[in-house]
Chain A
Amino acid sequence: MQFELNDVGITRENKVIISNINLAITKGDYLTIIGPSGSGKSTILKVMASLTDPTSGLIKYNGQNILTLNPINYRREVSYCVQQPTLFGDTVRDNLAFPFQIRKIKFDVTKAETLLQEAHMDASYLDHPIENLSGGERQRIALLRNIIFKPQVLLLDEVTTGLDYENKAIIHNLIQQMNVDHQTTIIQITHDETEITQAKQIIEVNDGHLVTGGHA
């Protein structure tokens, strides 16, 4: 089992955000989380991304309690991508170079250009100022930052919300490729009807609880 969530809950200032979340995820799974806004979907992803810790329960990654793992190395394996991401610096290059910079590795331009092409952007995009990018392009660049070093798990928080058909298709393709070619586990939150219809495994969250899916 790659991920195990056992009775995970978060309570803040006497308010229950999520509770009794039980999930078992195997490497290569493609899981879709649905549910109304404010139901706690994003919180589940944030806990799995180690951006916040559960106040009860236990999360295991490859059999180890994630609280005992080095958060930096863990986040490089379990990568979280948000809706309406913030791009860094001035150009696309600044963004694709960032994952190299934090690993103290020289920026691999060829690798970046190949990825850009897979995301339907040519090599000239590297020096595009970020303020000239469209919403869809921004989202694609942000996703490329997450996948340039091929994480084990990709946590996607409504990454296609508000995008047109073409941009959605490009992003779906990139995610699909990660899942099929690299056995990357995908856990996505979505409100998109098409994504929900095409989903293999669905879990529904309502009012901080799992309604369907997962394991009791």
Chain B
Amino acid sequence: MGIAVNNQSLFYVALLVLIALFIAWREKLGLDRDMIIAIIRAVIQLVIVGYVLRYIIQLDQLWVTLIIATLIIFNASYNAMKRSALKSFKISLAAIGIGTIITLSGLILAGAIKLVPFQIIPITGMIASNAMIAVGLCFKTMDQAFKDQRQQVIEKLTLGADLKDATLPIIRMSIKTAMQPTIDGAKTVGIVSLPGMMSGLIFAGIDPVRAIKYQIMVTFMLISTASIASFIAAYLGYRKYFNTRKQLKSMN
């Protein structure tokens, strides 16, 4: 294998950061502090994750793997929730949790991955982070649409429309917007970007023809997750904009 990142080479590469810091300082971007914090955080987080993952992979216990997967899902749900004016952790968790579990189960049942920590944990991370982006976008789009189309929703209600009929264009737009980055990503995969999974395998010396199979699997799983998660988020979310008397709540 030609992978040779050791502590010494990392030290030299760290000098590259000095260039970034120099530019930030010279151009008075006010980013110096942020950048230093970001770098220190990245190093500390990755070191911890590295040791934790090594321990878990060596431990090879199903229950520990499942706890880690659950933690990843909870963390993703919390972050997606912050994007929404609704601030509903339950909806976020339902969307990301169900989206991740269905896709993960599909991959395991199809025999694409095995129930072992070194496969489950990274794949769960990839799925949940994609679901997190999709759900966050879904919430954000929905918030904006309820503001922009408030008058239209009210007029539909005055005609006696049920909540779903009054909101359908907003629901559709939110799901569509949430899925768009995943679909765009799938369209340009291999042409614009060589994504992480595939690059990692090629880097580790795996035959590219084998590596693309994994990337195809990743593309499928990301599309499935984004659609399931945004569908659940949109359909559970829109009701929260109304009260029990089917009146549009005032959002400030």
- Chain A interfacial positions (CB closer than 8 Å to B): 49-53, 67, 71-73, 75-76, 79-82, 85-86, 88, 98-99, 101-103, 142, 145-146
Contact = CB atoms under 8 A, between A and B. Distances in A.
B160 interface: yes
B158 A80 contact: yes
A79 B156 CA distance: 11
13 contacts: A51-B248, A52-B247, A71-B246, A72-B161, A75-B157, A75-B158, A82-B151, A88-B156, A98-B156, A98-B159, A102-B156, A103-B160, A146-B158
Contact of B165 (A49, A67, A86, A101): A101
Q: Which 3 pairs between the two chains have the least Cβ-Cβ distance?
A: A76-B160, A80-B158, A75-B160
A51 B156 contact: no
B160 A81 contact: no
Contact of A51 (B152, B158, B160, B161): B158
B162 interface: yes
Interface of B: 151-152, 154-162, 165, 245-248
B158 A49 contact: yes
Given A72-B160, A102-B160, A102-B161, A86 B245 contact: no
B47 to A, nearest CB: 51
Contacts of A76: 159-160
Nearest to B150: A86
Contact of B247 (A50, A81, A103): A50
A81 B158 contact: yes
A49 B157 CA distance: 10
Nearest to A73: B160
Given A82-B151, A102-B162, 18 more contacts: A49-B158, A50-B247, A51-B157, A51-B248, A67-B245, A71-B247, A72-B162, A75-B157, A81-B158, A85-B155, A86-B151, A86-B152, A88-B156, A98-B156, A98-B159, A98-B161, A99-B159, A99-B160
